[in-house]
Structure 1
């Protein structure tokens, strides 16, 4: 016969055993109480989940344009010797022979009041943050960038801008824009192939004489020399331009509103007829028109070009 004390303890023991069994079943089945880690709240309602931030949509028809960069965007030597000619700029000019990007997108009448050119002859990538600050103040829907030629065109190949510095300044320029005008789109042109320009201009005696005055000496000095040091020097400059373009592609690729041209300008087969007759280096009006055409094709494309 059981003692009264043991009989009174039976319900408590059974309760503990049942509770233990329920815990075991819950652990095996993976069940949990409503609102306790199963994604549901009070009354079985699903807990709210954060909505993913949508990717900004690229506008193929921006209503205003600002340009930053160097002498190419200023139209240097496109109209007269040793002078800027912004009216012939591929980005914002109004010369009908060029039919600039601004004219193609905005129309000639509107382009005059809705486009700005902040490029500077002689500018390098280190100058781009300041230009970008000026551009951002206008809140343009599109900013065009063409910079890097002067970073490669130095007195010697050894004086070219280091790639790490080039990257840091380009990143700073985009950061400057985003701080002041976060919704502005950016079109980035690749740096032209300077070796191609040497190949096209070296056949002109007048061009060689002009080059001897100091036009891009890292590439164009001693243009007739074909010895090993001269070939090595030119290839060194070209490799640096390729590295700059890699930077432009990589940095731009991290910004959802930035579109790199995929190397279109670098690959374009400029001819001697498309170069300025005053320096055989900068684009003439025909060359500026080709740059405008390439830019328009990239800006209005449904998707960015494949790298």
Structure 2
């Protein structure tokens, strides 16, 4: 090759190097996503999210979870996200635990961040309300502080994660649809959510007032969950009360306790809580 040919070749290589360097420095456009998309998600909360009793046995059945379930009966958030995020397969981590109240949430968050989740769901509060009596329920201020502590763990140790905070289901709705059902009443008399469901057929004024106070406490918790999410910042999305607005029927809860959502109920929760792909 002559001198002129070498000169042209070197000039071309220089231009190519400059172009490549510019492309590397520019990074992906605003609407592009890293190759593979989401590769890890986690769920925090109580027995609702671990799908307790949804597989007939009175034990957790996470394959039916509205959040991380990978079974065939529920269109979970995991399964919805998996369609466009193949790298997520098998990385659906569920840290929700039976009887977990807000004071357990920070510990769950600490475990979850080890999985480097990019999407985290939070559903907590039913067990803070479902105590032995109204006096035993978690105070609203304490509930908010404990939720804030858990969200702080996520913000500090998984700052890139998108967080979905779901509202607490309308537990009073279960009493409304079940207190005239003999099987439901029998199940509740074994001590299911006594702050609400004790004496389920009674119309005594103090019992009626107790049910109203229970509902008001759940409403207060939901207000604090939404406020905590706003305080977290733009990477947190609340469901706007969508889960609380689900109108449960008796065929959406388990036959063991007429309280926990069965697979149908879990599917309804998944649809209500879904806010689309977590790109906020």
Query: TM (normalized to structure 1)?
Result: 0.76
SS at 2:243 equivalent: helix
| Aligned equivalent of 1:263 | 241
| Stretch of structure 1 that moved more, 165-174 or 201-210 | 201-210
**Residue segments in structure 1 that go unaligned for 5+ positions in a row:** 1-55
Among 241, 248, 254, the residue aligned to 2:225: 248
Q: 1:281 aligns with which of 259, 263, 266?
A: 259
- Confirm or deny that 1:299 pairs with 2:279: no
Distance 2:150 2:38 in 1: 21
Cα distance change of structure 1 residues 109 and 280 upon mapping to structure 2, 3 Å threshold? farther
TM-superposed deviation, 1:111: 4.9
Q: Does 1:91 align with 2:87?
A: no
- 1:162 lines up with 2:160 in the alignment: no
Structure 2 CA distance for partners of 1:205 and 1:140, relative to 1, 3 Å: same
The corresponding residue for 1:122 is: 99
Runs of 4+ more than 3 Å apart: 107-112, 299-303
Distance 2:236 2:261 in 1: 25
Contact 1:103 1:111 in 2 (8 A): no
Give unmatched runs, 5+ long, in structure 2.
1-29
Tell me what 2:200 maps to: 223
Tell whether 2:115 aligns with 1:138. yes
2:243 and 2:264 map into 1 onto residues whose CA distance is 14
Contact 2:38 2:88 in 1 (8 A): no
Which of the numbers 183, 187, 197 marks the counterpart of 1:206? 183
- 1:77 equivalent among 53, 73, 76: 53
CA contact (8 A) 1:130 1:173 kept: yes
TM-score by length of 2: 0.83
Q: Secondary structure at the match of 2:190?
A: coil
TM alignment of 1:94-113, pairs within 5 A: 94-107=70-83, 111-113=88-90
Mapped to 1, the partners of 2:120 and 2:223 lie a distance apart of 20
SS at match of 2:93: strand
CA distance, structure 2, for counterparts of residue 302 and residue 130 of structure 1: 26
Give 1:302 shift. Answer: 8.2
The count of aligned residue pairs is 245
Larger radius of gyration: 1
Query: Can you list the C-alpha shifts for 1:38-60, whole angstroms capped at 9, x where unaligned?
Result: xxxxxxxxxxxxxxxxxx99x9x
